[in-house]
């Protein structure tokens, strides 16, 4: 439970960051716990994160602002390990270095600055520019589907676990309007919600001739073999199809004649 000082301070900071949000950053406390803040960083221009939607949490201690929050970024970015605590001078890894004058906006600006650098720390990862652009392009899909785990979540699996994938339930509860925009974006851009990949028109190119085999056939393997044999034999003559039989008959006649000739000479 937040102390009275923390409650008052965070309430004031929420008002401040709402009225004057820093560039590329939006944040708010959870409705049920003022110590749990959710933020979204939009990837700045001229960075491999451009256009990406990076969602994370700040978990403040009850004695804030005299101690720093735990900082996590849930969305895969190629910069941080998803949902891992980040070791920064503004995080709970370094409580003695935290300045009580720093506010939520200060913390998130510091996080964005560190994100766009190449400095390494606990919770950060190395990745190429192409990999980071790949994550940025899939970030909206990941946030709203829990990385494609929404199908399992509908069956009651993984709910409440951001790291393992909660089907996007937590993101939706904290960012309902953004979540609606993400689903609309996926529909308009024909994104497969199970994989995050762009759907191919007309089911994609075929890799070969269709055999016309029923997908639910109980004798599918036999049907495949029969269809292949039919295609192989199609248009071929009787002699070609029975070449093995004819070869055997020729050999039999040859052996028979050789035996008769041998008996005659003796």
- DSSP 3-state of 5: helix
Provide the terminal-to-terminal Cα distance of the chain, rounded to the nearest Å.
115
Average pLDDT over residues 62-80: 97
Active site residue 207: no
Please tell me the predicted confidence (pLDDT) of residue 206: 40
Find all residues with CB under 8 Å of 202, minimum gap 6, and list them: none
Looking at residue 151, what is its pLDDT?
Answer: 73
CA angle in degrees (0–180, nearest 5) for 40-108-93: 115
Q: Could you give the residue ranges of the DSSP H alpha helices within the chain?
A: 4-19, 104-115, 129-145, 150-153, 169-174, 176-188, 220-233, 238-241, 243-265
Confidence of residue 213 (pLDDT cuts 50, 70, 90): very low
Please write the tens of the pLDDT for every residue from 10-52.
999 999 999 999 999 999 999 999 999 999 999 999 999 999 9
Nearest alpha carbon to residue 26 among 59, 56, 51: 56
Catalytic residue among 59, 67, 70, 87: 87
pLDDT(233) > 50: no
Asked whether the predicted pLDDT for residue 238 surpasses 70, the reply is: no
Label residue 262 by pLDDT band (50, 70, 90).
low
Structure token pair of residue 152: 């399992």
In the structure encoding, which two tokens stand for residue 227, read together?
């269809």
Residue 61 pLDDT greater than 80, yes or no: yes
**Closest listed residue to residue 18, CA positions, set 32, 29, 28, 33:** 28
Tokens 């996080």, residue located: 111
Using pLDDT thresholds of 50, 70 and 90, give the confidence band for residue 227: very low
pLDDT digits (tens, 9 = 90+) for 127-176: 999 999 999 999 999 999 999 888 775 544 444 446 556 889 999 999 99
Residues in the chain: 266
Both tokens assigned to 53: 């939607």
DSSP letter string, 63-102: TTTSSPPEEEE-S--SSB-TTPPP--TTSTT-GGG--TT-
What domains can you pick out in the chain, each with its CATH number? 4-203 (3.10.110.10), 220-265 (no CATH)
Note whether 153 and 159 are within 8 A (CB).
Answer: yes
Q: Are 9 and 92 in contact (CB under 8 A)?
A: no
Q: What is the mean pLDDT of the chain?
A: 82
pTM (2 decimals)? 0.73
Region 99-110 average pLDDT: 97
């Amino acid at each position: 439970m937040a102390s009275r000082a923390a409650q008052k301070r965070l309430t004031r900071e929420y008002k401040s960051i709402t009225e004057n949000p820093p560039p590329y950053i939006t944040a708010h406390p959870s409705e049920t716990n003022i110590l749990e803040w959710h933020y979204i960083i939009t990837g700045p221009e001229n960075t491999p994160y451009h256009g990406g939607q990076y969602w994370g949490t700040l978990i403040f201690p009850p004695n804030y602002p005299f101690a720093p929050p735990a900082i996590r970024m849930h969305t895969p970015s190629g910069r941080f390990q998803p949902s891992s605590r980040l070791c920064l001078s503004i995080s709970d890894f370094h409580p003695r270095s935290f300045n009580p004058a720093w506010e939520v906006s200060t913390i998130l600006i510091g996080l964005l600055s560190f994100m766009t650098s190449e400095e390494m720390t606990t919770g950060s990862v190395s990745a190429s520019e192409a990999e980071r652009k790949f994550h940025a392009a899939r970030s909206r899909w990941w946030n709203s589907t829990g990385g494609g785990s929404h199908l399992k979540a509908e069956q009651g699996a993984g709910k409440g676990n951001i790291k393992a994938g909660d089907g996007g339930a937590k993101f939706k509860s904290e960012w309902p309007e953004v979540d609606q925009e993400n689903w609309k974006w996926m529909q308009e851009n024909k994104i497969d919600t199970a994989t995050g990949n762009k759907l191919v028109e007309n089911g994609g190119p075929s890799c070969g001739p269709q055999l016309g085999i029923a997908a639910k056939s109980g004798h599918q393997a036999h049907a495949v073999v029969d269809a292949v044999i039919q295609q192989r034999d199609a248009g071929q003559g009787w002699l070609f199809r029975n070449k093995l039989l004819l070869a055997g008959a020729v050999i039999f006649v040859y052996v028979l004649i050789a035996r008769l000739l041998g008996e005659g000479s003796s």
